[in-house]
Structures are given as C-alpha cells and as structure tokens.
Amino acid sequence: RKEVEQDPGPFNVPEGATVAFNCTYSNSASQSFFWYRQDCRKEPKLLMSVYSSGNEDGRFTAQLNRASQYISLLIRDSKLSDSATYLCVVNSGGGADGLTFGKGTHLIIQP
C-alpha cells in the first residue's frame, strides 16, 4: 500500500522564525519526491522537487533521506504568506503513475 505520512499540525510559528516539516513514505521503490503547497480550497501548487543531494530555493530547503525514507522541508525567515498546507508528495511509478499525497501539514505564520 502506498502511503505518505505527515504531521497534520497545525504549526503556529511567529513571523521570521524557521520551521521544519518531515514526512515519511512507505514504498522503498519511490523515485520522485516533491513538496506542494495548497491554500484553502485551492489546487496544489508545486513548491519544489526534492533531490537526493538536497536542494535549496530561496528560503526553502528540501532534503531526502532514502535510507530512512523521509523527506524534509525547511522554511527560513517565515513570512505571513507562507501560511498554507504543505503536501509531501511521492511518485512511485516513474512512468505514468499519478502522485501519492500526504494529508499535509498545516502551517500558520503569526504576526
């Protein structure tokens, strides 16, 4: 069974703080990993792909640990606009398979 697990939160974080989320996946054959962001009643939007070597995009850093089967997302200098639900997403098929989503971690940045 394909599963992606995340702490649903909510994480209440003051503006400017650093916050980190983790997620774990059960399928060791998983090949591609992503973080998506979803605002309330909107579609998911790709935040960043996650590479084995780790990658950074501005204030966001993603890391992958294949041995432990977890993925992390770090947000530095958090902004009010970062408030959203962050979805950990895995593609296990590498071909035509759809994505497997975690339930998301709800982040609230407080002024």
Partner 1 sequence: GAVVSQHPSRVICKSGTSVKIECRSLDFQATTMFWYRQFPKQSLMLMATSNEGSKATYEQGVEKDKFLINHASLTLSTLTVTSAHPEDSSFYICSARVRQGRDEQFFGPGTRLTVL
Single-letter amino acid code for the residue at 49: S
Contact criterion met (CB below 8 Å) for 6 and 23? yes
18 phi and psi, to 5 degrees? -105, 135
Is residue 101 within the footprint of partner 1 (CB under 8 A)? yes
Tell which phi-psi region holds residue 24, choosing left (phi > 0), alpha (psi between -120 and 50) or beta.
Answer: beta
CB nearer to partner 1: pick between 61 and 100:
100
Cβ proximity to partner 1, 8 vs 16, nearer residue: 8
Q: 92 pairs with which residues across the strands?
A: none
Site for partner 1 in 47-86 (CB under 8 A): 49
Stretches 12-20, 53-61, 64-72, 91-99: which one binds partner 1 (CB under 8 A)?
Answer: 91-99
Nearest distance in Å: CB 96, partner 1: 5
Copy the structure tokens of residue 61: 């850093």
Please enumerate in sequence order all residues whose Cβ is within 8 A of that of 66, keeping only pairs 6 or more positions apart, or say none.
Answer: 52
Indicate which single residue of 10, 17, 18, 31 sits in contact with partner 1 (rule: CB under 8 A): 31
Size of the site for partner 1 (CB under 8 A): 23
Contact residues: partner 1, CB under 8 A: 4, 31-32, 34, 41-46, 49, 87, 91, 94, 96-104
